[in-house]
Structure 1
Amino acid sequence: MTHTSDGTRIHPAARMYAEELRAGLLDRREFLVRTTALGVSVPAAYAFGGLGSPAEAATPMQQGGTLRIQQEVRALKDPRTFDWTQISNFTRGWLEYMVEYNRDGSLRGMLLESWEANDDATEYTLNVRKGVTWNTGEAFTSADVVRMIAYWCDRSVEGNSMAARMAPLIDAETNKLMAGAVTAVDDHTVRIVLPISDITIIAGMADYPAAVVHSSHDPAAMLTNPIGTGPYLPESLEVGKKGVLVRNVDHQWWGASANGIGGAALDRIEFLDYGTDPAAWIAAIEADEVDMLYQNVNEFIAIGDAIGLEKSEVVTGATVVIRFNQQTLVDGTAIYADPKLREILVKAVDNGICLELGYAGLGTVAENHHVAPVHPEYADIGPAPYAPRDAAARLEEIGMAAFEHELVSLDDGFTKNTADAAAAQLRDAGIKVRRRVLPGSTFWNDWAKYPFSTTEWNHRPLGVQVLALAYRTGEAWNESGYSNPDFDIRLNAALSIADAEARRTVMAEIETILRGDWVIIQPYWRSLYRHFRPGVLGADMHPSFEIHLYKLGFAA
């Protein structure tokens, strides 16, 4: 290990990352996510990389007040099965996270104060923050951390996507946490010992299904018995209408006195559901019914600018995926299990047209492998193949010329528009396609099961995280039903490589396999936008749509 001038321990890989940053081979975001994931504190990472100091809020914030947020209000469920950021944004009032992923790409300790990784990322030491209490008055200790990791590692729980993030810690025979892999050294220290290297463990703890729950947690009683460590409590939740959080006046929130945290200035936070039509979102903020939007899209971004709202933008790995479920049956047959059929459909769609028509050109064209240029290990393998001319003839060859495909999407702005653009191109190529557009209340229930559909995917700090969640065999979020042992082997190898250049070499192979198996049409990477009223603080757009409630408030 090496050290910064203030004595902070620096992982050996961080020196290499700093050299790559200075040579222009890494940008700020890549450098920060890599170094902080290995245990370098955010201030130390900034100093070691010559980036100055982390930005601090310069505007004084008033105490109290009610902030109104436009956002879909969805039903609660067991946090490890959360499948939409909107659910977690509401529960963040009382359910907090061990680690926080921030706009600049850094990973900051929350319920964990810090962590360290050994040289090959096979052992992690987690330092539990002292002074944290549950709103029951009990201390938050290392026993809670060990219990949470075991909770995340339970593969028997349907829809538990956290198991994918903790995969190296899971016993293949029991589908639960391996005995002895995670131990409490003392009340504020936890040691994780992995059978293989894994650079994503800490980043996985920051993802939105990783909300930390009490030992008495009951998913059915999250509203009636809201035990957590956060500064707010749920007052009410009406699915599809309104959710309200209020300050927990009986709980001394740990963050108020923690160095570098602070905040939680508001007395009340209201989430108001205006559906999936962006025109309704703009109308609501223009009519002074809300103070900030969850996001803004397409032509409504210019409207938000024109009416004098503040705008926050971030370039991300957020995307839309048009995928075929290779296991879902259509009239008794898994028709999309045929790679020849998938190839014909994928090659008939021009991703650039989908970006222009689906998202008003507000992003960059993607390459059908779900690893973004903003990801540290992204490998440029060239543009996605586009060859629509012989589609009809090739369909005839495989006996699928008469089949009518049904492309399903949500009824919101950009996913609907993107699916419309893809369907139009398929029809232009002589492929029969009909569209089915569903309201959110219907679409979200079966989002992973449709034979042919369009899904919005959030940004993750590392490309290997996304691939492990979405395409590794048997994972809860593998909505394409994809299974390729060669892909799995190479992905698992990439997860263990701390050296970014070495990981990029393997990633080129992984991207090539995924694209060559014609798994998805993944047309573009989104720039994300949020509008809010002047004077609202802490509302900047997050790469993963997270709203860190304790940061919100009004200018004094």
Structure 2
Amino acid sequence: MGNLNKHILQSGVSRRSILQGAAAIGGAAVAGQFAIGPAAAQPKKGGTFRVGIAAGNTSENYDPGTWDNVFVQVFATSRHGYLIEITADGTLVGEVAESWEPSPDATVWTFKIRPGIEYHSGGTVKPEDVVASINYHRGENSTSAAKPFVDPIKDISVDGDSVVFTLEAGNADFPFVVSDYHLPIIKSSDGKIDPTSSDGCGPYKVTNYQPGVIAELTRNENYWKTDRAHFDDVKLLTIVDPAARQSALLTGNVDVIDQVDLKTVGLFKRSPNVTILSTTGTQHYTFAMDTRTAPFSDNNVRMALKYAVDRQELVDKILFGYGAVGNDHPISPSNRFFADDLEQTTYDPDKSKYYLKQAGLDSLDVSLSAADAAFGGAVDAAVLYSNSASKAGINIKPTREPNDGYWSDVWMKKPFCAVYWGGRPTEDWMFSVAYASGAPWNDTYWENERFNQLLKTARSELDETKRADMYREMQNLVRTDGGVIIPMFASYVMAHNEKVQHPEKVAANWTLDGFRAVERWWFA
């Protein structure tokens, strides 16, 4: 691919102040897209859209509080509607919410509910459904992964055709919170939703679901967005193995795949019927250490491991240039408050040895769990990491884990493992989900009192200069004290056949057009 594949994370598009008004809210920035292939034509209806996805487990279900991988995330946006949609350019538009407005201190947010949106099972979306849908994730007994970022909601009430959210403290990013994929609007009864129901108000209706295998859907003829949902039917297929996924596209068994195996991306380039599509944003690959467990409970060991990885080698050999070096915190240059002045952690075996000595060690032996289910090339990345770390006296034993069950049996279970993160559009969101004390997805079990204090304060700070300073300190705390090694930010690299068409700009907040390819794309 020459220089064409050397995509780097780009500075974000600025957004207007959230407090200037509901419709004026701009999104956390995402970078542009790179495609090889014909220009998109005008959308038309028809066809069965088949998507090969590099994720899926037999333990998955309809419960929105449990969704944790690309398959269930794409499946969710295919059948559900959300209060807010993040557009391809990172701005916010109303979906179930027709409009929204904050109080001057951003502690009260009023969302006017769009009239006439129909559920697949009949009936229309009511404000009471919104209340029940969000409340499902709240409360002391909630086990939802969304609980940490809905807990700050003090009260939700109905006011005519609107829903009013009262927060414990001001949150200028609150509209982003309610766009999260865990928070679809679901039909309620007696103030409760049914988390086992396939019903939704989105573009497609479920006809068949076999967790870890396939989801089949058909177009919702009553979908309120008349310029969306172009396919007649949709099939989402779990194809975790990279070679099988590639073969499925080349043989015409699927129309699009995510997570293209970058080692063989050249094969696609040589095929006249395949288009490579790459978007850059917040996706990052990590090695997570359980900070509760020795030796990772010692920050000197954690720092030794951070200086023992050759980041540029991983970008070159694992991402093949489709990405950029990371600095051990999850905020990318496409985020609004990215701290571009922090010192870059580099490969330095001598510094690594220094930190080992500070820990009272001359050498270190650890196992690193990895599988391609974590991210494409994760096992190879673990091997490269092992090679570079050996020069610092660190013996990393790469352990290949099964792809099936990786997210249920390895992630947050094994003390040192490979992980992918799609990132989040705001700093508060990313930190709240994966770094806050007690967060269900805090996969390093990291506890830092100063960080947690700053997280709460920055969320309600309306002075953007002060807010930027706090997020800078938080990024540095994760970098120098946290339990995560983030060696690289990875582009989303997808491939599709010549039939598939999409808008000129494709979202980079998540893969597959912000998880919305099913709704936004069409056939030529």
- Note closer, same or farther for the CA distance 1:518–1:348 as it changes in structure 2 (3 Å cut): farther
SS in 1 for 2:80: coil
- Note closer, same or farther for the CA distance 1:500–1:416 as it changes in structure 2 (3 Å cut): farther
Among candidates 10, 28, 31, match of residue 14 of structure 2:
31
Mapped pair 1:547 → 2:515: yes
Among candidates 376, 379, 382, match of residue 419 of structure 1:
382
User: Could you tell me how far 1:77 is from its partner in structure 2?
Assistant: 4.3
Give the whole-Å Cα distance in 1 for the aligned partners of 2:329 and 2:67.
24
Give the whole-Å Cα distance in 2 for the aligned partners of 1:414 and 1:509.
32
Of stretches 508-517 and 114-123 in structure 1, the one that deviates more from structure 2 is 114-123
Give the whole-Å Cα distance in 1 for the aligned partners of 2:395 and 2:78.
47
Aligned AA (1:228)? G
Of stretches 480-489 and 311-320 in structure 1, the one that deviates more from structure 2 is 311-320
Give the whole-Å Cα distance in 1 for the aligned partners of 2:104 and 2:462.
9
Q: Is the 8 A contact 2:300 2:358 kept in 1?
A: no
Mapped pair 1:218 → 2:194: yes
Give the whole-Å Cα distance in 2 for the aligned partners of 1:211 and 1:443.
26
Among candidates 200, 206, 218, match of residue 246 of structure 1:
218
Q: Is the 8 A contact 1:96 1:228 kept in 2?
A: yes
Q: Is the 8 A contact 1:39 1:114 kept in 2?
A: no
Aligned AA (1:184)? V
Mapped pair 1:113 → 2:98: yes
* 2:30 match: none
Q: Is the 8 A contact 2:26 2:90 kept in 1?
A: no
Q: Write out per-residue CA displacement over residues 80-101 of structure 1, whole angstroms, 9 at most, x where no aligned residue.
A: 2211132121233322211112
* 2:168 match: 195
- Note closer, same or farther for the CA distance 1:281–1:495 as it changes in structure 2 (3 Å cut): same
Give the whole-Å Cα distance in 2 for the aligned partners of 1:298 and 1:38.
43
In the TM superposition, 1:410-449 aligns within 5 A as 410-412=371-373, 413-446=376-409, 447-449=411-413
Q: Write out per-residue CA displacement over residues 454-488 of structure 1, whole angstroms, 9 at most, x where no aligned residue.
A: 11000311122111111110001100000111111
Give the whole-Å Cα distance in 1 for the aligned partners of 2:488 and 2:241.
21
Mapped pair 1:288 → 2:252: yes
Runs of at least 5 residues in structure 1 that lack an aligned partner in the other structure: 1-26, 47-56, 170-177, 257-261
Q: Write out per-residue CA displacement over residues 138-176 of structure 1, whole angstroms, 9 at most, x where no aligned residue.
A: 221211122222222235232x2211222322xxxxxxx
Of stretches 375-384 and 491-500 in structure 1, the one that deviates more from structure 2 is 491-500
SS in 1 for 2:262: coil
Q: Is the 8 A contact 1:313 1:529 kept in 2?
A: yes
User: Could you tell me how far 1:28 is from its partner in structure 2?
Assistant: 8.7
Of stretches 201-210 and 229-238 in structure 1, the one that deviates more from structure 2 is 229-238
Among candidates 143, 147, 168, match of residue 152 of structure 2:
168
Give the whole-Å Cα distance in 2 for the aligned partners of 1:126 and 1:407.
46
* 2:3 match: none
- Note closer, same or farther for the CA distance 1:394–1:508 as it changes in structure 2 (3 Å cut): closer
Of stretches 444-453 and 291-300 in structure 1, the one that deviates more from structure 2 is 291-300
Aligned AA (2:203)? P
User: Could you tell me how far 1:104 is from its partner in structure 2?
Assistant: 0.8
* 1:322 match: 287
Give the whole-Å Cα distance in 2 for the aligned partners of 1:554 and 1:391.
52
Among candidates 359, 362, 365, match of residue 404 of structure 1:
365
* 2:36 match: none
Mapped pair 1:65 → 2:25: no
- Note closer, same or farther for the CA distance 1:157–1:168 as it changes in structure 2 (3 Å cut): closer
Give the whole-Å Cα distance in 1 for the aligned partners of 2:264 and 2:507.
16
- Note closer, same or farther for the CA distance 1:417–1:205 as it changes in structure 2 (3 Å cut): farther
Q: Write out per-residue CA displacement over residues 24-60 of structure 1, whole angstroms, 9 at most, x where no aligned residue.
A: xxx995424x556975437x969xxxxxxxxxx9733
SS in 2 for 1:337: coil
Q: Is the 8 A contact 1:155 1:163 kept in 2?
A: no
In the TM superposition, 1:61-460 aligns within 5 A as 61-71=43-53, 72-74=55-57, 75-158=60-143, 160-169=144-153, 178=154, 181-186=155-160, 188-215=161-188, 217-219=193-195, 221-222=196-197, 226-248=198-220, 252-256=222-226, 262-277=227-242, 279-308=243-272, 309-327=274-292, 329=293, 334-380=294-340, 381-389=342-350, 391-392=352-353, 395=356, 398=359, 400-401=361-362, 404-412=365-373, 413-446=376-409, 447-460=411-424
Give the whole-Å Cα distance in 2 for the aligned partners of 1:123 and 1:28.
31
User: Could you tell me how far 1:385 is from its partner in structure 2?
Assistant: 5.0
- Note closer, same or farther for the CA distance 1:501–1:301 as it changes in structure 2 (3 Å cut): farther
Give the whole-Å Cα distance in 2 for the aligned partners of 1:122 and 1:531.
43
Aligned AA (2:176)? A
Give the whole-Å Cα distance in 2 for the aligned partners of 1:517 and 1:164.
22
Give the whole-Å Cα distance in 1 for the aligned partners of 2:233 and 2:317.
39
User: Could you tell me how far 1:316 is from its partner in structure 2?
Assistant: 0.6
Give the whole-Å Cα distance in 1 for the aligned partners of 2:275 and 2:19.
32
| Identity of matched residues, % | 24
User: Could you tell me how far 1:73 is from its partner in structure 2?
Assistant: 3.8
Give the whole-Å Cα distance in 2 for the aligned partners of 1:117 and 1:541.
26
Q: Is the 8 A contact 1:97 1:210 kept in 2?
A: yes
- Note closer, same or farther for the CA distance 1:499–1:343 as it changes in structure 2 (3 Å cut): same
Higher relative contact order (CA 8 A, sep 6+): 2
Q: Is the 8 A contact 1:323 1:520 kept in 2?
A: yes
Aligned AA (2:159)? V
* 1:503 match: 467
Give the whole-Å Cα distance in 1 for the aligned partners of 2:42 and 2:125.
31
Give the whole-Å Cα distance in 2 for the aligned partners of 1:344 and 1:422.
13
Among candidates 467, 470, 473, match of residue 437 of structure 2:
473
TM-score by length of 1: 0.81
Q: Is the 8 A contact 1:528 1:543 kept in 2?
A: no
Q: Is the 8 A contact 1:96 1:211 kept in 2?
A: yes
SS in 2 for 1:235: strand
* 1:533 match: 497
User: Could you tell me how far 1:324 is from its partner in structure 2?
Assistant: 0.7
- Note closer, same or farther for the CA distance 1:184–1:41 as it changes in structure 2 (3 Å cut): same
C-alpha RMSD over aligned residues: 2.6
User: Could you tell me how far 1:390 is from its partner in structure 2?
Assistant: 5.7
- Note closer, same or farther for the CA distance 1:230–1:410 as it changes in structure 2 (3 Å cut): same
How many correspondences in the alignment? 488
User: Could you tell me how far 1:354 is from its partner in structure 2?
Assistant: 2.2
Give the structure with the larger helix fraction: 1
User: Could you tell me how far 1:401 is from its partner in structure 2?
Assistant: 4.8
* 1:41 match: 23
Q: Is the 8 A contact 1:295 1:530 kept in 2?
A: yes
Give the whole-Å Cα distance in 2 for the aligned partners of 1:239 and 1:150.
26
Aligned AA (1:41)? A
Give the whole-Å Cα distance in 1 for the aligned partners of 2:40 and 2:241.
34
Q: Is the 8 A contact 2:128 2:188 kept in 1?
A: no
Runs of at least 5 residues in structure 2 that lack an aligned partner in the other structure: 1-9, 28-38
Q: Is the 8 A contact 1:37 1:202 kept in 2?
A: no
User: Could you tell me how far 1:348 is from its partner in structure 2?
Assistant: 1.5
- Note closer, same or farther for the CA distance 1:364–1:139 as it changes in structure 2 (3 Å cut): same
User: Could you tell me how far 1:106 is from its partner in structure 2?
Assistant: 1.1
Of stretches 286-295 and 406-415 in structure 1, the one that deviates more from structure 2 is 406-415
* 2:32 match: none
Give the whole-Å Cα distance in 1 for the aligned partners of 2:402 and 2:47.
33
Q: Is the 8 A contact 2:89 2:507 kept in 1?
A: no
